[in-house]
Amino acid sequence: MAGKPPQGDPVQDAPQVAAPKHAAAGLPAIGHSLRVAQQQMGVRRTALTLLRVNQKEGFDCPGCAWPEPEHRHKAEFCENGAKAVAEEATLRRVTPDFFAAHTVADLATRSGYWLGQQGRLTHPMYLAEGAEHYAPVSWERAFDIIAEELTALGSPDEALFYTSGRTSNEAAFLYQLFAREYGTNNLPDCSNMCHESSGSALSETIGIGKGSVLLEDLYKADLIIVAGQNPGTNHPRMLSALEKAKANGARIITVNPLPEAGMERFKNPQTPQGMLKGAALTDLFLQIRIGGDQALFRLLNKLILETEGAVDEAFVSEHTHGYEEFAQSARAADWDETLTATGLTRAQIDETLRMVLASKRTIVCWAMGLTQHKHSVPTIREVVNFLLLRGNIGRPGAGVCPVRGHSNVQGDRTMGIFERPAPAFLDALEREFGFAPPREHGYDVVRAIRAMRDDKAKVFFAMGGNFVSASPDTEVTEAAMRRARLTVHVSTKLNRSHAVTGARALILPTLGRTERDLQGSGEQVVTVEDSMGMVHASRGRLEPASEHLLSETAIVCRLARRVLGDESRTPWEEFEKDYATVRDRIARVVPGFEDFNARVAEPGGFALPHAPRDERRFPTATGKANFTAAPVEYPKLPEGRLLLQTLRSHDQYNTTIYGLDDRYRGIKNGRRVVLVNPEDAHELGLADGSYTDLVSEWQDGVERRAPGFRVVHYPTARGCAAAYYPETNVLVPLDATADTSNTPASKSVVVRLEQSAAN
């Protein structure tokens, strides 16, 4: 029953294109996921594993951060959740023999797809300085090597501790504790590339960087605006929630440069009715130009201000600050400029306004389409202005809903994975653990890359993720990584970051969510926090992929003991033995986790407090919810250029490529495609099916080129183009980031399309 071996590499990238679909999920989704799962796991394991996803006694799906509904179907089924599980529970293995057969140089020529398809890592592996192959190494020796390099540094700030968002609360808490006891706040994380703009905008305006709605709120809303998000692929379980909201009378506006199948029609695989016909989700589709959202919300705000009785005066006067200045800027919004920025019509905006005014309870959901632009923070602040105006925060059925990506990315932040920790958090650590944590801010992702490039950081340690492929400006990032003395990756699967290394490198293989975690005190559970601030337990059931794996928690504890030695008074050994003792400490350090062990033992877990949601209290500098005013920005393109967004296909999880299809968009068997509006393509002389290079233009004058993309005529907004990440990360300049949040502007890359030399 072993999984089928992967295909050879180079992967044949030969895209075939058909018309895009207008509905998501349904029977094809089930068939598709079962096929992928059985290739990886065989039939029996597929059945056993998929039944445990997101059940109260099971493990948290390692897919997205969408919350679990109260009444779960037998299997809270989701095609892409099933694929995420299959990738982890695969029966394929990457053993020391594999590394003996492949040099690191060879691995660096392979596609990310091929690397990931090789299976689970089984042994700690070490690449010695000057060596061509990774060789097996004992855990003790691995920790010695890390300790040697960390001790040799001129300052703890020359080390970087990256985190990807699958790490459990327990492991994350200990990891940041270790980094700070060692002496640095250099804790960059995937959030820096993801929802950092949401965190920045929300902390400043409502006083907490998290969403203010629970799942029940969606069911109570009159109007849900989904802006810059493709839930059909990236948060498929959200479609069931939207379906239920609609059944309860909600209306839905979708704001997106692309018509995404999931938002058009959802065929719920849990119900017979859904299977056959499905439910239309979107009532109004606003096909916006990339980066036009701030202008759109600004004009809506002006129109609300101009409508008699539309503003919730009582809420504004009691709970907000900065109204006058904001209102002045909103009144200056210009129709013509907005129509240019958004590409929308007057009629569409009038219709939007009617729906907005008809709603007493409005929610705005968003994801990467709003967060990865230069002006993302002011854009999200404008969304907050929009909601504050009509009192849509802190009442049932209303609020802000940034939909997170990685399954525990929100929890990791709550646990202190942050390069700019709040002083109160550090004070609590100091009280609890009796050491003086560093106070100076650390590096985020972009600054970490610069630090390696400039030889200011020399040890790179990653708790999960695939840093070189996920980060912008691939060539710059890879060159920076190669300058490091030591790169270490705690990983489940092989990826490109294992092949682009510092002088020395380590791969530390770890348990996944689906696997049994046995420690001194017995079987352990871990905890996670979803996108709506619900904390619950996750218990793995499968036998670990190899007997040589350590849990992330155990890796941190052993590393900390080895590096910090007797200087640390933290009971690392006890923590490793019994994760409940870690939760006791979290309960004393992180607000909202009081009585953590008891509360997380309850089926379904508990909700973290959220002052704006729970009591309309806004813990900001002014003590109120802050209206903000900023100039309207939107991308302005030079003649003959397009604005490229880099996004996900249906067959990938970030840099993990499940397959070469993007079913809903009608693309098969290839990823090097660029979607272009047919009229733009006509003007630029780009025939459908022709091949082009994408060349990014940025003020530094450096030419960044991604060669050989098949042109697909596609109904995206005018002036816009789309292509997949991570193949296009080479085009995103390191310095092209969002103001304030410093998130790479991966959704607005100015490109010109040049005929490919090869064709």
Ligand X SMILES: Nc1nc2c(c(=O)[nH]1)N[C@H]1C(S)=C(S)[C@@H](COP(=O)(O)OP(=O)(O)OC[C@H]3O[C@@H](n4cnc5c(=O)[nH]c(N)nc54)[C@H](O)[C@@H]3O)O[C@H]1N2
Which residues would be at the binding site for ligand X (CB under 6 A)? Answer: 63-64, 80, 164-166, 190, 193-194, 227-230, 233-235, 255-258, 260, 288, 290-291, 293, 367-369, 405-406, 463-467, 470, 490-493, 495, 510, 512-513, 552, 645-648, 652-656, 725, 728-729, 732, 746-747
The residue (of 58 and 465) whose beta carbon lies closer to Mo ion is 465
Using the minimum distance from each CB to Mo ion, give the nearer residue, 187 or 194.
194
**Distance in Å, CB of 497 to ligand X, minimum:** 8
Give Cβ neighbours of residue 488 (< 8 Å, ≥ 6 apart). 146, 459, 460, 461, 462, 505, 506, 508
CB of 293 to ligand X, least distance (A): 5
Q: How far is the CB of 194 from Mo ion (least distance, A)?
A: 3
Q: Give the one entry of Mo ion, ligand X, none that residue 26 binds, where binding means its C-beta sits below a cut-off of 5 to 8 angstroms depending on kind.
A: none
Residue 225, binding choice from Mo ion, ligand X, none, Cβ under 5 to 8 Å by partner class? none
Nearer to ligand X, 38 or 234 (CB): 234
CA pair distance 677, 664, nearest whole angstrom = 17
Structure tokens at 292: 């036009």
Q: What are phi and psi of 293, to 5 degrees?
A: -65, -40
Q: Which of 412, 206, 374 is nearest to 290 (CA)?
A: 374
User: Minimum CB separation from ligand X for residue 252, in Å?
Assistant: 14
- Residue 724 has a CB neighbour count (10 Å cut-off) of 23
Least CB distance to ligand X at residue 393 (A) = 21
Tokens 């109570």 sit on residue: 220
Q: Which does 234 bind (CB under 5 to 8 A by kind): Mo ion, ligand X, none?
A: ligand X
**Cβ-based nearer residue to ligand X, 6 or 512:** 512
SS in 3 state form for 399-451? EEEECCCECCHHHHHHCCCCCCCCHHHHHHHHHHHCCCCCCCCCCCHHHHHHH
Stretch 376-435 residues interacting with Mo ion (CB under 5 A): 405
- What minimum distance in Å lies between the beta carbon of 70 and ligand X? 22
The residue ranges of DSSP E strands in 549-683, in sequence order, are: 606-607, 625-626, 642-647, 652-653, 656-657, 667-668, 673-676
Tell me how far, at minimum, the Cβ of 199 lies from ligand X, in Å.
13
Nearer to ligand X, 531 or 628 (CB): 531
Q: Are the CB atoms for 414 and 529 separated by under 8 Å? A: yes
If contact means CB under 5 to 8 A according to the sort of partner, which of Mo ion, ligand X, none does residue 240 touch? Answer: none
Judged by beta carbon, residue 150 or residue 194, the one nearer Mo ion is 194
Given the complex with Mo ion, which of 343 and 533 has the nearer CB atom? Answer: 533
Dihedral sign computed on CA atoms, order 267, 269, 271, 275 = positive
Nearer to ligand X, 235 or 536 (CB): 235
Residue nearest Mo ion (C-beta atom): 405
Query: Other C-beta atoms within 10 Å of 280: how many?
Result: 15
* Rounded CA separation 487/467 (Å): 11
| Smallest gap from residue 567 Cβ to ligand X (A) | 26
Least distance (Å) from Mo ion to the CB of residue 492?
Answer: 17
Pairing of strands 223-227, 251-255: parallel
Which of these ranges, 59-67, 135-143, 186-194, 291-299, lies near Mo ion under the rule CB under 5 A? 186-194
720 touches 643 (CB < 8 A): yes
The two three-digit tokens of residue 482, written as one number? 């190669």
The secondary element (H helix, E strand) that includes residue 385 is: helix 376-389
Q: Which is nearer to ligand X, 227 or 590 (CB)?
A: 227
Tokens, residue 464: 């999960």
| Burial letters 650-673, b for 16+ CB under 10 A, else e | bbbbbbbbbbbbbbbbbbbebbbb
- Name residue 610's amino acid: H
- Closest separation in Å from C-beta 325 to ligand X: 26
- Least Å distance, CB 186 to Mo ion, is 20
- CB burial of residue 557 (10 Å; 0-12, 13-18, 19+): buried
Q: How far is the CB of 12 from Mo ion (least distance, A)?
A: 29
- Compute the distance between CA of residue 630 and CA of residue 294 in angstroms, rounded to an integer: 10
Q: Least Å distance between CB 345 and ligand X?
A: 16
Contacts of 736 (CB under 8 A, 6+ apart): 374, 472, 698, 744, 745, 749
User: With CB under 5 A as the contact rule, which of the stretches 62-70, 190-198, 263-271, 462-470 interacts with Mo ion?
Assistant: 190-198
Report the distance separating Cα 116 and Cα 89, nearest Å.
13
Identify what 732 binds: ligand X, Mo ion, none; CB under 5 to 8 Å per kind.
ligand X
- Provide the residue type at 475 as one letter: E
Pick one of ligand X, Mo ion, none as the site partner of residue 652 (Cβ within 5 to 8 A by kind). Answer: ligand X
Nearer of residues 227 and 393 to ligand X, judged by Cβ:
227
194 in contact with Mo ion (CB under 5 A) = yes
C-alpha to C-alpha distance for 519 and 524, rounded to whole angstroms: 7
Task: Give the largest CA-CA distance in the chain.
Answer: 74
Q: How far apart are CA 488 and CA 460, in angstroms?
A: 6
* Residues 4-36: b if buried by 16+ CB within 10 A, e if exposed: eebeeeebebebebeebbebbbbeebeebbbeb
Q: Please give the size of the binding site for Mo ion, defined by CB under 5 A.
A: 2
Report the residue number, 438 or 512, with the smaller CB distance to ligand X: 512
Q: Residue 201: which of ligand X, Mo ion, none does it interact with, CB under 5 to 8 A by kind?
A: none
Query: Token match 């590394």: residue?
Result: 99
* Interacting partner of 646 out of ligand X, Mo ion, none (Cβ under 5 to 8 A depending on kind): ligand X
Residue-by-residue DSSP string for 181-239: HHT-----BGGGGTTHHHHHHHHHHHSSSS----HHHHHH-SEEEEES--HHHH-HHHH
Task: Decide whether 404 or 710 has the Cβ nearer to ligand X.
Answer: 404
Q: Which does 410 bind (CB under 5 to 8 A by kind): Mo ion, ligand X, none?
A: none
Q: Look at the block and give the residue holding tokens 């039944």.
A: 51
Q: Cβ 406 to Mo ion, closest distance in Å?
A: 6
Binding partner of residue 742 among ligand X, Mo ion, none, CB under 5 to 8 Å per kind?
Answer: none
Q: How far is 536 from 557, CA to CA, in rounded Å?
A: 23
Q: Which residues in the 153-182 window bind Mo ion by CB under 5 A?
A: none
Residue ranges in 490-509 that form contacts with Mo ion under rule CB under 5 A: none
Out of Mo ion, ligand X, none, what residue 338 binds, judged by CB under 5 to 8 A for its kind, is: none
Closest CB 634 distance from ligand X, rounded Å? 9
Residue 584 or residue 633: which is nearer to ligand X going by CB?
633
For Mo ion, the closer of residues 194 and 674 by Cβ is: 194
With CB under 5 to 8 Å by kind, the binding choice for 40 among ligand X, Mo ion, none is none
Choose between 258 and 625: whose C-beta lies nearer to ligand X: 258
Binding partner at 33 among Mo ion, ligand X, none, C-beta below 5 to 8 Å by kind? none
Q: Where do contacts with Mo ion occur on this chain (CB under 5 A)? A: 194, 405
